[in-house]
Every structure is written in structure tokens, then in C-alpha cells.
Amino acid sequence: MASGDERHGEEEGNYGDATMGALREIYAGYAWADVASLEPEAAAARVRVRGAAQAVRAVGRRVAFLVLRQGSATVQCVVSGGAGGGMARFAAGLSRESVVDVAGVVSLPREPVRGTTQQLVEIQVEKLHCVSRAVSNLPISVEDAARSEEDVARAKAAGEQRAHVGQDKRLDNRVIDLRTAANQAIFRVQCQVENVFRQVLLSEGFVGIHTPKLLGGSSEGGASVFKLDYNGQPACLAQSPQLHKQMAVCGGFERVFLVGPVFRAESSYTNRHLCEFVGLDAEMALRDHYSEVCDVVDRLFVAMFDHLNKNCAKELEAIQRQFPFKPLKYLKTTLRLDYNEGIRMLQEAGVDVDPMGDLNTEAEKKLGELVRDKYDTEFYMLCRYPSAVRPFYTMPCPDDPRYSCSFDVFVRGEEIISGAQRVHDPELLTAQAEARGIDVATIATYIDAFRYGAPPHGGFGVGLERVVMLFCGLGNIRKTSLFPRDPNRLAP
């Protein structure tokens, strides 16, 4: 029989600080498991999990309860037993957010464990090692960052204090902020939006491409470009893949899409603008009418919203807990309004708008309210914009060139998609570029592409971050950018 000292030595070998490689033999016989997969059916299984020490609570000298977090899933680990209680003391001394390995037996608690996602199971810990120790004084805590504004307000009303982590503080410490359940969910939803975008367009015969982000001239016109030196030549970062995706269509691909960064050097201090965002773009040859592009947008986004509601219920619930929002209202066949009809609705509601001008943010939001009340949808298209408010490459309407073959798409009263038929006639394209003050020499290769034979075509672009922001009613696009870039932020 082993002596007390021998048993104490064995216990010490089962816990402590250790490198990943040193643990392989120590943890032999335990199967790796994901916290999210631990259910009652796994009872009595010998498992090994790795995660962050979200919380530790000591009960006496020989028992400690450790909440282990992996992604957004959490499980309670019970550290007990042993002659000296050394493992429990080691657990109690762990700093929050330290990365630890736990090995033990899955068991069923007498009562559901409150405060964890895996409430019907816990782990009886047999081995515990810290593989990366976090500093003891974190700049923000995950618990505080996960608190909703409503929770803070309720605590204040009850005379209690609850820390509120502001947007800038979150972004300054984004690595910790991303660990909250809501943020874990937001970016998993974002991943699904991108996946559905690809899958639906592939099913519609589109080909994925990549276009250059370094340009010799502006792709949109105007001064909102990031200028740089390109081997002694003036250049800028692409505001849009517009010109090159059109050239790809002219190159014979007919239907193309891409996902990539877009850069806008504007004073983007609003809740919906960034200096860098992820663009979801598509371009396609047309047979009869630019409404064919609208048809693709309709099928794409209805499929996307259906997918999110069906397959991301858990993620949407996690977002809802911290950032409450109402589910998006949308129709199975997307509503399309003529621009003049939208103007008429606004004027009848007493809004002063220029019938041939662009809609400002307030007018867009008001029209969104009017459409929602009248048609019971928060997702709709506004078609046939005045030519003067669209880019130089937009095709004028054949029956009235004051208007264009163009459309915007709105979610919750905010624009997310801009699309149109493009000008494929080089002479008309040149004239419209010159009329907008664009140096035609800087886009000569673009215009020349249409001199070699070009099919009628059109397309659209949408910001990935804006889609997620508006679908989830988040109110600020910085919440849906992993590491946002605006005029004041270039780190982390």
C-alpha cells in the first residue's frame, strides 16, 4: 500500500502548469471531447477537454468548482478528492481566462447546473493542467462584456452596480470581447451569410473570381479613395470590384461573384459605415431586362434569411440575449417598388423630398416604416433611380434617360444593396465618365474592354457586415466587423 507521501506525490503529478507536449502521456486513456457535445448520454465517459477558466469557486480547502468555456459552450468541472487538496487549491488559484486542460469522468449532477450551457452534465476532475496562464488583472472581463444594457439598467434601478463596457473599450480589447456568447454567435452567423451567398450563386451558374485591390484610378469616381505609391506610380485601394467584375463578364464568364475587401476613404463616423469592409459582389450577362438581376437578389436573400432562421436558431438566441431585436419581416417574393412610388409615399406622409434627388438616411428610414406598415415587410427593393444619383457606369432607362436601370435593396429602413444594369457601349460610357469629372485615361483599359464586344450585363454589391448588422438589428456595424477600421481606428 502506498504511503501518504507517495499518494500526495501522485496527486501533484495530476495538476500544475505544463506545456502541451508534456501532457500527452499524462492524459493517455482520456478521449478528447468538445464541451458542446457533452450530454447525459456521455455519462461515465473518460474525457479530456481544453478551454478557458471562466470562473472558479472554492468550497473549503479541498473542493473547487471550475466553469470551463470552449467557444460559447460551458461546463462545470468539480475538483475534489486527494489527501492534500492540492488540486483544488491549484484550481482556485487559476486566473480567469487561463487556458486549461481537464481530464475526468462525465457525471450527472443532482440538479441542473445553473450558469452553464451544459446544465445536465458535469466533469469529475482527475487531472488539471494550465497550458497558458492569463494575467490576473484583465482590462475587461468576459462577464462584463457579455452584459446587456438592459441588465445594467435593471441593476442600477435596483441600486446595484454592474460594469458597462463601452464600444471603444470593447474594440480596444477585442480579443477578450470576442469571447462573449453574443460575439461568438455574431461571427458564426456572418460565416453562414457568406456560405449561403456562395452556395446559392454557384447553384445559379455563377463562377467565383478574385479582382485586384490595387488600382491606377478610382473605381467609383470622387475623392474617397486611399491613395498610395505603387512603385513610383500613383495608385489607390479599390473602392469596389465593379470595373473588373464587368471585364470578367466581357471575358466570357457571363456570371461571376466574389467575396473580398473593399476600401472607402470617407469620414465614416456613422453607425453603418466602415473604411474597410467585406464586399459580396455579383455580375451577370442579361438577356432581356435588368430585372433579371433583381430576380437573383430576390432568390438569394430569401434563401439566406430562411437558412439563418432555420439553422442558426441557437446563435440568434445568444445574440438576442445581449442585444434584443425583433425577427426580420420579409416576403417569400420580395416587394419591388418604383422610385417614383417611394417618393409619392414619402410626400403623402409629409416628407419633403426631391423627386429627382437621392434619399437621405432619414427619408430611407421613414420609407422603410411606411413600407413595413403597408406591405408587412422590412426587406424590399426600390427600382429605377434617377440617373443623376447613380455611378457613371449605370445604364439610363431606354424610355426616359432621366432615370436609370438601377435598384437599391433595404433592410429595416437602411440600404444594404446597390445594383444596376451597366453601360456596355464604350462611347456612352466615356461620355458619362467625363460628365462626372473622371479622368478617362485612368480607366482606359476598362472602357476598351467594351470595344471588343460586350454583352448587356448588370450586377450588385452588398457589405457582409451590413447584412448581419441589419438582420440581427444590432444598430452599429462595428459589432459585425471582427476588427473594424474606421477613421479613428487602425488597431488592433
- Tell me which of 12, 266, 292, 414 is the catalytic residue: 266
Give me the phi and psi of 38, to 5 degrees please: -75, 110
Instruction: List, in sequence order, every beta strand (DSSP E) within 108-232.
Output: 122-132, 207-208, 214-215, 227-230
Looking from the CA of 116 toward its CB, the CA atoms found within 13 Å total: 28
Question: In whole angstroms, what is the distance from residue 165 CA to residue 53 CA?
Answer: 21
- Tell me which of 415, 424, 465, 478 is the catalytic residue: 415
- Tell me which of 8, 46, 96, 273 is the catalytic residue: 273
What the block records as the C-alpha cell of 437 is 469629372
Active-site annotation holds for 264: yes
Q: Are residues 277 and 261 in contact, defined by beta-carbon separation less than 8 angstroms?
A: yes
Active-site annotation holds for 57: no
- Tell me which of 48, 418, 478, 481 is the catalytic residue: 418
Q: Is 488 helix (H, G, I), strand (E, B) or coil?
A: coil
**Which of 394, 376, 384 has its CA nearest to residue 334?**
376
What the block records as the C-alpha cell of 253 is 464568364
Active-site annotation holds for 272: yes
Question: In whole angstroms, what is the distance from residue 385 CA to residue 54 CA?
Answer: 53
Cα 307 to Cα 198, 207, 376, distances in angstroms:
13, 22, 20
Question: In whole angstroms, what is the distance from residue 476 CA to residue 273 CA?
Answer: 9
What the block records as the C-alpha cell of 84 is 492534500
Question: In whole angstroms, what is the distance from residue 471 CA to residue 480 CA?
Answer: 11
- Tell me which of 69, 170, 272, 457 is the catalytic residue: 272
Active-site annotation holds for 466: yes
Question: In whole angstroms, what is the distance from residue 438 CA to residue 219 CA?
Answer: 10
- Tell me which of 179, 466, 478, 485 is the catalytic residue: 466
Helix axes 313-322, 291-311, angle to 10 degrees: 80
- Tell me which of 147, 264, 390, 412 is the catalytic residue: 264
Q: Catalytic positions, please?
A: 264, 266, 272-273, 415, 418, 466
